[in-house]
């Protein structure tokens, strides 16, 4: 995984999502919550916190899907009083999360931009799942 402090893909998030009306900020992260890129509208530390939080919510979504007999998760939405959060898959073991500027943002428009970005880059955004260095055993 690349150095997240360099934010090498940040320009792409800014171009594809940061310019969309209603997007406050966006982050790209691995499935286990490691920040990979962020828009310039969110700082490194807050981006790392959002990535970790989003991974936790995604795990809860997967559990919900399994419990209800679903066939997979396409997108998760959290509607708060003052904003909406959207999360979608963006490649192998990679997620894209967006926070809106308010509760009346055009979720359809934002979702389309998120999906287009995920499709455009496909597997280029994917990251391998992290595995313990010692094979998972306790020494």
Grouped pLDDT means (10 residues each) for the chain, 139 residues: 68 92 95 93 96 94 94 91 94 91 94 90 58 58
| Residue ranges of domains in the chain | 4-125
The closest alpha carbon to 87, from 104, 120, 110, belongs to: 110
DSSP string, 100-135: ESSTTS-HHHHHHHHHHHHHHHGGGG--PPP--TTT
CA-nearest of 89, 85, 90, 77 to 24 is 85
CB 82 within 8 A of CB 70: no
What is residue 6's DSSP assignment? Answer: G
| Confidence (pTM) | 0.81
Q: Which CATH architecture has domain 4-125?
A: 2-Layer Sandwich (3.30)
pLDDT value, residue 2: 45
């Amino acid at each position: 995984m690349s150095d997240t402090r360099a934010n090498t893909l940040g320009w792409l998030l800014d171009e594809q999502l940061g310019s969309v009306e209603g997007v406050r900020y966006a982050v790209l992260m691995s499935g286990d919550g490691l920040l990979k890129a962020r828009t310039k509208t969110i700082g490194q530390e807050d981006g790392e916190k959002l990535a970790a939080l989003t991974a936790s919510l995604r795990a809860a979504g997967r559990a919900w899907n399994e419990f209800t007999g679903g066939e997979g998760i396409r997108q998760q939405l959290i509607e708060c009083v003052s904003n909406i959060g959207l999360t979608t898959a963006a490649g192998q073991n990679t997620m894209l999360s967006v926070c809106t500027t308010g509760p009346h943002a055009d979720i359809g428009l934002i979702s389309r931009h998120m999906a287009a970005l995920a499709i455009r880059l496909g597997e280029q955004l994917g990251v391998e799942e992290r595995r313990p260095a010692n094979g998972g055993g306790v020494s």
